[in-house]
Structure 1
Amino acid sequence: MDAVAGFSEGIIDPCHLLEQVKCLRVLSFKFFSLEEGLLHDSIGELIHLRYLDLSGAPVMTLPESLSFLYNLQTLKLRSCRNLKSLPTNMQNLVNLRHLDIQGTSLEEMPKGMSKLQDLQFLSHYIVGKHDENGVGELGGLAHLHGSLYIVKLENVKNGGEAWNARMAEKIHLDTLYLRWSSFKESEVCDSQSEKDVLDKLHPHKDLKVLGIFDYRGTMFPDWVGHSSYHNMTELNLRGCKNCWVLPSLGQLPSLEYLRLEGFDMVKKIGAEFYKADGTHHHHQETPFRSLKILHIENMPCLEEWESFECGDDDHAPFPQLEQLWIWNCPKLRGDLPTFL
């Protein structure tokens, strides 16, 4: 009871507490003010622990003894904004199934994450610069479910490395976000290499939500917008400043929400936007036939939005459109397509 009383008053004496709860299976320090932002080393003695929640705690570092918790299945670190690294031997937590690191300040993942083969939920993966913590470590995580946010993709050296992530095999993911770090205009990027990396990161065909942020290539690979992604309902493309043409998105059959933002080089929304070959053949499916919301924002060079000559009203694009947002496109002429 003393331990419980200590929790209710927000006062934590870790040594005293952990001596009494050696068989503890669930432990939460959620939003507790840990002394000096530290989790005590003795946490590693709770070898029966299955669930540990540190969400919102001002923890700055995690003790290496955390990697002794071989039975741990859930580790929640959401909104631990001061946390910059995970224990170096995280790969020892072989029974871990849920790892939430959203809202932390982690700079990269620890080495050997591919050994956590029972992992079913991973909120974020921060790509490191070395093979042992690079994007290829995702290849061993075949059972990921729900959503995944991959960041610092500029650290992926080539398409072969990206292919090792085996994203197309992660059939239980329904949401995928891919982000490159923003870069200075003076930086030189190999556009073909950038495109190859994104090409090899293509997800499985049943994905529902996709976001691509700060992509540095000049063109998108063909899988982005391919009609085989029949379940995709939401697509976000933002900060792709080097791209000079929008990908072909009109043949995504279930797409309901589309956001295009920060395409600094795009001057024209042309026929290729509606269909991959950029032609107006009538036998094709109605472009954007399920789209309800379209956002076009921060495109300073956009001048023209070309119409799509469909021949009859039954095949005009955007038959379900409910909301159209055009924001900060100062050069766009007012002669928008007639079907709008």
Structure 2
Amino acid sequence: MLISATKRTSALPKLHHIQLLDFYKGKILEFPFADLVKLRHMFCRPNLKFRNLGRLISLQTLPSCFTVSNEQGYEVKQLRDVNKLRGRLDIYGLENVKSKEEALEANLAAKERLTELCLVWFGDDDTRCSPEVEAEVLAGLCPPVGIQKLVIHGYRGSRYPDWMVGKQSGGPDGLRNLQLQRCSQLGPGPQFEAFPHLRVLYIWCCSWDSLPGNMEHLTLLENLNIVGCKNIRCLPALPQSIEWFSLTSCNDELMESCKTAGHPNWQKIEHIPRKRFRQ
């Protein structure tokens, strides 16, 4: 059964067998129908908020991001039993998750039909946990094994979890696309031992002073994009498989050396057939 937002919404809670709702043309800002346990699909605007999402145990598509907050009904544990989700899941507001135990309540590993996952931290230092706690939170957010694309935005943890950097981690070892955005850690970027099948790596405005030293072992990597990383001055050895290399708004020294014939950085990308440099 399909119900449009043009119908009277006051009648919806009585229709327990609804499987699809279309709110795209509606003006509601919060989803008020958490008792529709048969609901599988929704179409809505991106800013729709979901209170008590955990009751929608049949839900397969979540067209808007789920934003975690300290308000009742928006805790990360609301995701625990919504395990039929498929496609992409965006989780915002992870600065409001305060421990690994709390993160584990999201039960992400059980969402086996997901293909893309986006984990987002926002907020300033006054609203964030310590780097040590934030590292524990990311450790508890291990994605399902079959995930193909992973985006991590705004992470400030002190380290990366075993499911990202360990050879036998229990995480998404078939990952094809990894995007790390505004990740702030001292020292080099994380080793990607857990992702041997990686084909696309996008690094945007991260504070590392160097790229991971093991990148030569990513023998299936085809596309490497580095944007706005001002502290990186040299490249590690890169795999022969790379077909596209893009360097945008990075450290001036790195940008210039990659275009200077004979420089060690130039030598490390000489084999790549397609390259782009933008200041």
Please give the TM-score of this superposition, normalised by the length of structure 1. Answer: 0.68
Matching residue of 2:222: 292
- Alignment of 1:69 onto 2:34: no
Q: 2:21 aligns to what SS in structure 1?
A: strand
Deviation per CA, 1:109-134: give whole Å up to 9, x if none: 212x2222111222332213145321
Q: Which has the larger radius of gyration?
A: 1
Change (3 A) 1:128 1:76: farther
What's the CA shift for 1:235? 0.8
CA distance in 1, matches of 2:132, 2:59: 33
Change (3 A) 1:79 1:166: farther
For structure 2, which runs of at least 5 residues remain unmatched after alignment? 258-263, 270-279
Q: Is the 8 A contact 2:203 2:226 kept in 1?
A: yes
CA distance in 1, matches of 2:70, 2:77: 11
Matching residue of 1:252: 195
Instruction: State which of 184, 207, 217 in structure 2 corresponds to 1:241.
Output: 184
Percent identity, aligned pairs only, is 25
CA distance in 1, matches of 2:127, 2:35: 38
Change (3 A) 1:79 1:167: farther
Instruction: State which of 39, 53, 67 in structure 2 corresponds to 1:96.
Output: 39
CA distance in 2, matches of 1:178, 1:194: 12
Deviation per CA, 1:193-221: give whole Å up to 9, x if none: 11111110001222111111112324322
Instruction: State which of 70, 77, 100 in structure 2 corresponds to 1:159.
Output: 100
Instruction: State which of 203, 215, 221 in structure 1 corresponds to 2:161.
Output: 221
Q: CA RMSD in A?
A: 2.5
CA distance in 2, matches of 1:93, 1:157: 30
Change (3 A) 1:270 1:246: closer
Change (3 A) 1:99 1:128: farther
Deviation per CA, 1:124-154: give whole Å up to 9, x if none: 3221314532111111112222221111112
Change (3 A) 1:327 1:83: farther
For structure 1, which runs of at least 5 residues remain unmatched after alignment? 1-24, 30-38, 44-62, 275-285, 308-316
Q: Is the 8 A contact 2:2 2:22 kept in 1?
A: no
- Alignment of 1:84 onto 2:5: no
- Alignment of 1:126 onto 2:83: no
For residues 7-46 of structure 1, the aligned pairs below 5 Å read 25-28=1-4, 39=6, 43=8
Q: 1:99 aligns to what SS in structure 2?
A: strand
Q: Is the 8 A contact 1:305 1:337 kept in 2?
A: no
Superposition misfits of 4+ residues, deviation over 6 angstroms: none
What's the CA shift for 1:185? 6.0
Q: 1:338 aligns to what SS in structure 2?
A: helix
What's the CA shift for 1:253? 2.3
Q: Is the 8 A contact 2:66 2:92 kept in 1?
A: yes
Q: Is the 8 A contact 1:98 1:120 kept in 2?
A: yes
What's the CA shift for 1:236? 0.8
Instruction: State which of 251, 269, 274 in structure 1 corresponds to 2:211.
Output: 269
Return the letter of the residue paired with 1:289: T
What's the CA shift for 1:174? 1.4
Matching residue of 1:318: 239
Return the letter of the residue paired with 1:176: L
CA distance in 2, matches of 1:269, 1:336: 12
Change (3 A) 1:27 1:67: closer
What's the CA shift for 1:100? 4.0
Matching residue of 2:275: none
CA distance in 1, matches of 2:117, 2:59: 16
Q: Is the 8 A contact 1:270 1:305 kept in 2?
A: no
Q: Is the 8 A contact 1:180 1:214 kept in 2?
A: yes
Return the letter of the residue paired with 1:155: N
